Chain A
Amino acid sequence: GESVGLHLPTLSVQEGDNSIINCAYSNSASDYFIWYKQESGKGPQFIIDIRSNMDKRQGQRVTVLLNKTVKHLSLQIAATQPGDSAVYFCAENLVRGQNFVFGPGTRLSVLP
């Protein structure tokens, strides 16, 4: 399949542990922040989003935290599984659905 990135930051976690992936964003006026997962050879897949008026949002096994003071976004994955191994991207969106700016990505590697 297509290579996503050769020199990405990598986070290695033990299966069953919690993972925390961090992202710094650039535009303080961004209204939406989104996390995507990209598996090898596939297009990005939406995980969860959070609006700028919130600081925390939970999904199934995932939690996104937003700190607007320091322009920081994090994705927490509970009880990490082998199927969670992928590259994770954060993205910011200024106007709903229109211009998106993605971060460089983090590779998550789950160790057995």
Chain B
Amino acid sequence: EAQVTQNPRYLITVTGKKLTVTCSQNMNHEYMSWYRQDPGLGLRQIYYSMNVEVTDKGDVPEGYKVSRKEKRNFPLILESPSPNQTSLYFCASSSRTGIEQFFGPGTRLTVL
């Protein structure tokens, strides 16, 4: 089954404790993105990647890092999480020739 998976689905952590949210897709897509979703703000793009070792900032990259060492994986790293990063996070992927993004199920992060 073609899908985007994220782990963990739920995470509660404390300020300053480094964490990684994993994202993996099995569709051989070139493009991958991370978004955060907050009430009333829609989805805002954090980072995106056009292929292995190629990443670029979205609209809200501060406080986040990403890496794309393999085509299928695109982890989101929070080196020092803060309470304003409490949000619902989505990973998405798409092919280079298509505009359709496939989204993962989301990760609910709470930073205390």
Contacts from A to B (Cβ < 8 Å): 2-8, 32, 34, 41-46, 49, 89, 91, 93, 96-105
Q: How far is the CB of A56 from chain B (nearest CB, A)?
A: 17
| Distance of A2 Cα from B89 Cα, bound (Å) | 11
Main secondary structure of the interface of A (DSSP, over half): loop
What is the chain A residue whose CB lies nearest that of B31? A97
Mask of B68-112 contacts with A, CB within 8 angstroms, 1/0 = 000000000000000000001010101110111111111010000
Q: How far is the CB of B105 from chain A (nearest CB, A)?
A: 6
- With contacts defined as CB atoms under 8 Å apart, how many contacts are there between chain A and chain B in the complex? 76
Q: Name the one of A6, A34, A44, A99 contacting B99, with C-beta atoms under 8 angstroms.
A: A34
Contact A98 B44 (CB under 8 A): no
Interface extent on B, as a size class?
Answer: 20 to 34
Contacts from B to A (Cβ < 8 Å): 4, 30-31, 33, 35, 37, 39-45, 48, 50, 56, 58-59, 88, 90, 92, 94-96, 98-106, 108
With A8-B40, A97-B94, A102-B42 given, is the CB distance from A46 to B50 under 8 Å?
A: no
Contact A43 B39 (CB under 8 A): no
Contact B39 A98 (CB under 8 A): no
Q: A43-B103, A91-B43, A102-B35 are in contact. List 12 more A-B contacts (CB 8 A).
A: A8-B40, A43-B105, A44-B103, A46-B100, A49-B99, A49-B100, A97-B98, A98-B31, A98-B48, A99-B56, A101-B45, A105-B42
Contacts of B37 in A (CB 8 A): 4
A-B contact pairs, 12 of them (CB 8 A): A2-B106, A2-B108, A5-B40, A7-B40, A32-B99, A34-B100, A44-B43, A44-B92, A49-B100, A99-B48, A100-B101, A105-B42
